[in-house]
Structure 1
Amino acid sequence: MWRVTNRARRHIPRPSSFRPAALRPTQRQVAGPWIPDVERSTAIVDCAVYVDGVRQEPGHDERGRPDWRAAHDQVVSTGTGFVWIGLHEPSNAQLAGLAEHFNLHPLAVEDAVSAHQRPKLESYDDEMLFAVVKTVHYDETAVSETDPSTAVEVVDTGEVMVFLGSDYVITVRHGEHGGLHALRKRLEQQQALLAEGPSSVLHGILDHVVDDYLAVAEALQRDIDEMEVAVFGGAARSVDTNRMYILKREVLALQRSAAPLTAPLRSLGGTEMPLVAEEFREYFRDVNDHLGQVIDQVTAFDDLLNTLVSAHLAQVSVVQNEDMRKISAWVAIAAVPTMVAGIYGMNFTHMPELRWRFGYPMVVGIVVCVCLWLHRSFKRAGWL
């Protein structure tokens, strides 16, 4: 469940002692000044300064990479705009330099690196907001786990972590999908909105994520409609039961991603937060309304799939009963000649009809007549 907390910041000596354990010098390391690994390898995919909603490209370091330090120093020195830095699956070492420069809380940094976090919204001393949201993507070409030759629909999930300060936004993305490049370009075309500061980026990310929820919900709706037609319009044996349970699993995946967003969006839309601009409350409430639509759809999907599963199981039970009746009818018909053959196979000494000229035709005729009568009776009863 999302939660809004206000944790007391740990007072950690800066800057030299703030080093994750993985980055502390060991006896095997060469002596010399400590340089964070972020200087040697970076996970930054985009970096820019935004002043009055207009993108300004940062300078580059000696290796041709965006100089995010200089970009933020520019924002601090001028007192205008903010810097937006985007990363993809950074390691602890790659995030260490940013954590030190922006004074990010160690607990939030740990969550951003390790991923697989529950969606949440946290406030640290009213100086930084840290948000975790789940992203979703509907992959219609995924390979079935049980049959590699079959393509199935799968809801892939990822994560986006957002560090929000008064003059910076740092986004950390995990997963193969959910890229923020298109969102960044779209926001850059809305300069008036982007000029409102980092709050516009947080709103844009949440709105983008909820729009993806709606798109996945529409895709699930199409697949569930197809399954409904198959269950109620076709033969019970033709229904892919495995696909039905896969759909239910994907609906639950969407539900686990969307449902926890309600509380934080309600807080962002109704609670005063120092780092969230007042004019964005109504925007967050609008996103929360869209999220409510997704949750309503997901709840309906779950109920409908439960109904389809129950209906399909009932159909299978009916088919099995029909098969059992057919088997029972044929067994009853076959029992007549079996019984007669068993009687005459006992080889009793005194069986007068054995020596009668018409004994054999009479017995065969009786067997045939009884079998035909049973077949007709079962046919009328609907057993055959």
Structure 2
Amino acid sequence: MAAGGPIALSEAWIGSRVIAHDLQGDDLADVLQQNGDASAWAIAPREETAELRRLAKILGLDDYAVDELLAPGHRCRVSDVAGTRLVRLLAVELKNRELFADDVSMIIADQVVIILADDPYGQRIARMLTAAGPRLTGGGADRAAQLVVDFVIDTTVTTTEQLEAASDDLADQLFGGQPLTREGKLDAFRLRRAVTQLRRVTAPTQDVVQELVDTAPGSDEVTDRHWNKIIDRTQRVALSVTALADGLTTIFDTSLSLDNARLDDVMKKLTGWAAIIAAPTLITGFVGMNVDFWFQGSSVGFYVYLAVMLASAVVLYVLFKRKTWI
């Protein structure tokens, strides 16, 4: 096991009484062998060690099972090998609009649950289990596994809430009728990618929780009720992530629609002003031809044609103004 530190990385208990904590592998194994009714949890780093291989042989796990537990980036899943349940979970967190995942593996045996997680997330799990108190010591190793699953899902819930808050901020920017800025569009794209990655985690997590419930040994009413709460949370998270993906798609579409509407307004203004400018140009070009026109070469003609140009420009301006083109 991982060496002890400020936070206890293992704990053994009988009923509601803690009998040992922060023991290394062999010492913890001796405590469990000497106390057949004891249960324990332990945190170990996600790395191949001789101690982990020795533990795997004791539990009847082959090298392939150990490699499956330690391989990075695998999907969430549950498997049963020689009566020992092997669980793969992903704890996802949002940092600077990027989704980061911590691999959490569990070996759930009759008396002990071994949690394989790298720091700092492993330290957070250890802190949670140490502070669990009666919620943990009132049950066995399965109760510890349940608390770890709940903790991982709680991390996903927090991430989902952060994504929802960020999505709401983008939606608020659209309420003024203005499309998203370039930075806003990039932000929305990053959020959309994070939500897509999150959906790849929440869906298999539901299957993991359900399978853990189906394969759990006989438990009391409190444990069953807690499992039901965890199932409800995973379902709500999955629905929230799906709704969030749809919401971000709507934000994209709305922003594009506002972009198109603003482009239409710009084209109308350009068309209107181009027509106003074109009218005097047409008149001066026509009068400037090398043919005789009324009042040609006189000051009266200058003022007459100037008045015609101004009148045509004013008429066009009023016409386009009424049609809200300018």
Pairwise TM-score range, normalised by the shorter structure = 0.7 to 0.9
**CA distance in structure 2 between the aligned counterparts of 1:376 and 1:278, rounded to whole angstroms:** 82
Distance 1:206 1:122 in 2: 15
**TM-score, with structure 1 as normaliser:** 0.74
What secondary structure is seen at the aligned counterpart in 2 of 1:233? coil
Aligned-pair RMSD on alpha carbons?
2.7
Segments of structure 2 that go 5 or more residues without pairing to the other structure are: none
Q: Distance in 1 between matches of 2:203 and 2:262?
A: 39
Other-structure match for 1:113? 70
Deviations along 1:206-225, one digit per CA (max 9) or x if unpaired, are 11122222222332332222
> How far apart are residue 195 of structure 1 and its match?
4.4
Are the aligned partners of 1:53 and 1:195 in contact in 2 as well (CA < 8 Å)? Answer: yes
Match of 1:134 in 2: 90
Aligned to 1:169, what secondary structure does the other structure show? strand
For residue 252 of structure 2, what is the aligned residue in structure 1? 309
Q: Residue 3 of structure 2 contacts residue 24 of structure 2 at CA under 8 Å; is this kept in 1?
A: no
Q: Deviations over 1:267-287 (max 9, x none)?
A: 333x354xx343234432221
CA contact (8 A) 1:121 1:264 kept: yes
1:99-178 correspondence to structure 2 within 5 Å: 99-126=56-83, 128-139=84-95, 142=96, 153-174=97-118, 177=121
What is aligned with 2:300? Answer: 358
More helix per residue: 1 or 2? 2
- 2:235 matched residue in structure 1: 292
Q: Secondary structure at the match of 2:145?
A: helix
Checking the alignment, whether the CA contact within 8 Å between 2:60 and 2:82 is kept in structure 1 is: no
Give the number of equivalent residue pairs: 319
Distance 1:302 1:238 in 2: 20
User: Within 2, Cα distance between the matches of 1:366 and 1:91?
Assistant: 91
Q: Which of 343, 346, 367 is the aligned partner of 2:309? A: 367
Name the CA distance, whole Å, in 2 between partners of 1:351 and 1:260.
Answer: 86
Residue 131 of structure 1 deviates from its aligned partner by: 0.5
Q: Tell me, in whole angstroms, the C-alpha distance in 1 between the residues paired with 2:106 and 2:49.
A: 16
Residue identity (%) = 19
1:319 aligns with 2:262: yes
Q: Distance in 1 between matches of 2:152 and 2:189?
A: 25
Structure 2 counterparts to residues 53-72 of structure 1, below 5 A: 53-57=16-20, 66-72=23-29
TM-score by length of 2: 0.86
Confirm or deny that 1:205 pairs with 2:168: no
2:163 to 214, 220, 229: 220
Aligned to 2:189: 245
Q: Which residue of 1 aligns with 2:11?
A: 48
Q: Distance in 2 between matches of 1:369 and 1:134?
A: 74
* Aligned residue in 1 for 2:30: 73
Q: Is the 8 A contact 1:160 1:172 kept in 2?
A: yes
What do residues 236-262 of structure 1 show as CA deviations (whole Å, max 9, x unaligned)? 255822222222223223322222122
Task: Judge conservation of contact 1:129–1:163 (CA < 8 Å) in 2.
Answer: yes
C-alpha separation between the residues in 1 aligned to 2:137 and 2:321? 77
Query: What letter corresponds to residue 115 of structure 2 in structure 1?
Result: T
CA contact (8 A) 1:81 1:195 kept: no
Q: Which residue of 2 aligns with 1:186?
A: 131
How far did 1:159 drift? 1.8
Distance in 2 between the 1:160 and 1:357 partners? 92
Contact 2:25 2:51 (8 Å CA) reproduced: no
> Contact conserved, 2:18 with 2:137, CA < 8 A, in 1?
no
Equivalent AA in structure 2 for residue 376 of structure 1: V
SS at match of 1:317: helix
Give 1:101 shift. Answer: 4.9
Partner SS, residue 296 of structure 2: helix
2: CA distance, partners of 1:253 / 1:180: 23
Is the 2:109–2:141 contact (alpha carbons within 8 Å) kept by the matching residues of 1?
Answer: yes
Structure 1: runs of 5 or more not aligned: 1-37, 60-65, 143-152
